[in-house]
Amino acid sequence: MRKKIILGQVLNPISDSKCDFYKNGALLLSESKDGWIVDGVKDRSKVSKKALEEAEVVEMKGQLIMPSFFDIHFHWVQDDVREMPKAKLLEWLEKYTFPAERKFEKKTYSKNKAKKFFSRLIETGTLGGAIYSSIHEHALDHAQENAIGHFTIGNVQMTMNSPSFLTQTKKEAIDLSKKLSKKYKEKYALTPRFAIATDPETMKKSAVAAKKNGSFIQTHLSENHGEIEFVLSIYRDLPEFKNVKNYTDIYDKVDLLGPKTIMGHAIHMSDAELRKLARTKTIIAHCPTSNAPIKQKGLGSGLFDFKRTEKHKVRWALASDIGGGPILSMFDVMRSFVDQNKGINPEATYTKALFRSTVAGAEAMGVSKVAGNFKKGKEANFITVNAPKGDLEDSETVLEKVINRGRRKRSSYDQLPNAVFFKGKALFEKQ
């Protein structure tokens, strides 16, 4: 069995408050049938002479090595509208987002876009997560063909309150999700766009098939007050939903909640709703750059209360939500999480942000045994960036320097990784 030792600075996220930093680190790998796996990470002075002799030693001088990212909520078909004006959510959807998604009805367009988007995604260092596609079956297939890593992807279901060119009949929506969840299993995510756009019968019938096939389920929940009021006004008119107490109850009634269900945003939640998410082990995707104030190119939805969420023991991880979020890179998402909590929650550190973009994402995707950090036996999925200068001793100062170095242009975060490795193989290396 071949061995490899990679020398460089190494960050290994362990928990919300702990991330090991090796200034002179060594990442030990061994080859398996299914690519390279991690043997361990340690200080290079602790690597035995014998181990060094037996392995191929790769010196990555001046490089900082960290696990690749998970992004558990984003819309790959909204890549073109990320930076469009968002002063009014509905206007942004109608004027930019829906026409952008409509273009995916053309197969050649969708195919070309998928090739470009997913290679760009790799370059940003994201190798896992949960993705929304358009309503079109071929666009979902194109995304599945091009995504490399631990992803689940779903076509959105839109059966009501949507533009005619993006509206399916109930039968079309149900049949398609049944077919695709059977075909892709856990790589498929049943994706009702949200309760405003997807009728309850479609959600309920599709959820049965998704759960039977081990697929994921994802949708949006309680992103802003207008949305919550609108949802409740629609559903309380339906006899079956007359008595629902809140937005979460609606999804519960159509059996959407569960350990493989990811709710996007969930900002404005009552204690009863959080208790329900905890009880059903449902996951929240927190998207700080998308929720950020409009002048920061977000939708101004509000600040997610992670402390309260954690108090209720609800699982959560970070996500970009492009196009609601303007930037694909998880570095920008981590920066935004820390910035928005500054002066409010001192626990919102870069160390925590990295944990929530790696280990917690892997946990949400059900792959924490094989991905998320450099624990022995996991896949060698990692990125390298320029190591920050100076005599730095801990993860927080190192990450602060990498992420907050000067006032960098936000779009430049996408170009931070110098190389991206999946199972030890370089998928991307800067020229």
Q: Which residue ranges make up the site for Zn ion (CB under 5 A)?
A: 264, 321
Considering the complex, what minimum distance in angstroms separates the CB of residue 33 from Zn ion? 37
CB of 35 to Zn ion, least distance (A): 31
* Least distance in angstroms from the C-beta of 323 to Zn ion: 8
Report, in Å, the least distance between residue 75 CB and Zn ion. Answer: 6
36 vs 74, beta carbon nearer Zn ion: 74
Give the pair of three-digit tokens for residue 244: 């629902």
Residue closer to Zn ion by CB (options 365, 398) is: 365
Complex with Zn ion: residue 252 or 321, whichever CB lies closer:
321
Q: How far is the CB of 134 from Zn ion (least distance, A)?
A: 13
Closer to Zn ion by Cβ: residue 191 or 349: 191
Query: For Zn ion, which is the closer residue by CB, 26 or 189?
Result: 189
Alpha-carbon gap, residue 150 to 167, rounded angstroms: 30
Q: How far is the CB of 100 from Zn ion (least distance, A)?
A: 14
Q: In angstroms, give the least distance from the CB of 61 to Zn ion.
A: 40
Nearer to Zn ion, 101 or 321 (CB): 321
Tokens of 362: 């892997």
Least Cβ distance, residue 287 to Zn ion (angstroms): 7
What minimum distance in Å lies between the beta carbon of 68 and Zn ion?
22
Strands of the 261-265 sheet, one edge to the other: 69-75, 126-133, 150-157, 189-192, 216-221, 261-265, 283-286, 315-318
Closer residue to Zn ion (CB): 264 or 417:
264
SS (H, E, C) the chain: CCEEEEEEEEEEECCCCCEEEEEEEEEEEEEECCEEEEEEEEEHHHCCHHHHHHCEEEEEEEEEEEECEEEEEEEHHHHHHCCCCCCCHHHHHHHHHHHHHHHHHCHHHHHHHHHHHHHHHHHCCEEEEEEEECCCHHHHHHHHHHCCCEEEEEEEECCCCCCHHHCCCHHHHHHHHHHHHHHHHHHEEEEECCCCCCCHHHHHHHHHHHHHCCCEEEEEECCCHHHHHHHHHHHCCCHHHCCCCCHHHHHHHCCCCCCCEEEEECCCCCHHHHHHHHHCCCEEEECHHHHCCHHHCCCCCCCCCHHHHHHCCCEEEECCCCCCCCCCCHHHHHHHHHHHHCCCCCCCCHHHHHHHHCHHHHHHCCCCCCCCCCCCCCECCEEEEECCCCCCCCHHHHHHHHHCCCCCCHHHHHHCCCEEEECCEEEEECC
Compare residues 194 and 374 and give the one whose CB is closer to Zn ion: 194
Return the structure tokens found at 118: 């997913």
* Nearest CB to Zn ion, comparing residues 264 and 326: 264
Taking the complex as a whole, the smallest distance from the CB of residue 325 to Zn ion amounts, in Å, to 8
Cβ proximity to Zn ion: between 91 and 394 the closer is: 91
